[in-house]
Amino acid sequence: MLIASRSIGVGEEFELPIALSTAPNGLAGYEISVYVEDPRVVEMVGVRFPGWAKLTDSSVKSDSALLKAVDLDDQIRVGENNIELATLKLKATRVGETAIKLAIIKMDDDEGNPITPSTKQATLTVTATKQTQPPWEICAGVVIAAAIAASITSLIYRRRRKSGVVRSKQL
């Protein structure tokens, strides 16, 4: 089973896909538990299932989730690779590091035989929130916008003056 490690900033909501690397005999369904080792650093806020999972059930708490899905339409066939099982929705709440751990309660292939893939934990590193746009870039953007507006106004004035539309005021 695949789950990727990553770094995120405090306050960010992000998604973390869970995938099965291979299904030699297809996939009928699964029941998986997911745990956040330190829920003070990252909390679970939801889950999204892929389109092949027609029958799903989940119980999501801030520190754990129980995920169940069944392939009713036999979309995951023999020999498929990199099968999305679910996507966790998480929120980084505090600077630190935590592991996301998976435990397979039950997973069956299309013939009803148990699948026992190895699981890998993900490490999530939460860093301080980064400023997305420095103040000097905001000021530069305002100056550029003002210069563009002045250029456009000048062009319009010159064209009107050429065509005789602009009349000078007499005092």
pLDDT for 171 equals 46
Reference 117, options 130, 131, 132, 105; nearest CA is 105
At the topology level of CATH, where does 2-127 sit? Immunoglobulin-like (2.60.40)
Q: Is the pTM of this model over 0.85?
A: no
pLDDT for 161 equals 62
User: How many CA atoms are closer than 13 Å to the CA of 73, on its beta-carbon side?
Assistant: 7
**Domain-by-domain residue ranges, the chain?**
2-127, 131-165
Looking at 2-134, list the stretches that DSSP marks H as alpha helix, in order from N- to C-terminal side.
none
pLDDT for 108 equals 96
Read off the pLDDT of residues 5-63 as tens digits, 9 standing for 90 and up: 888 999 999 999 999 999 999 999 999 999 999 999 999 999 999 999 999 999 999 99
Read off the pLDDT of residues 116-150 as tens digits, 9 standing for 90 and up: 998 888 899 999 975 344 444 444 444 444 445 44
Please tell me the distance from the alpha carbon of residue 95 to that of residue 139, in angstroms, as a whole number.
Answer: 30
Q: How many CB atoms lie within 10 A of CB 126?
A: 23
Please tell me the distance from the alpha carbon of residue 122 to that of residue 5, in angstroms, as a whole number.
Answer: 5
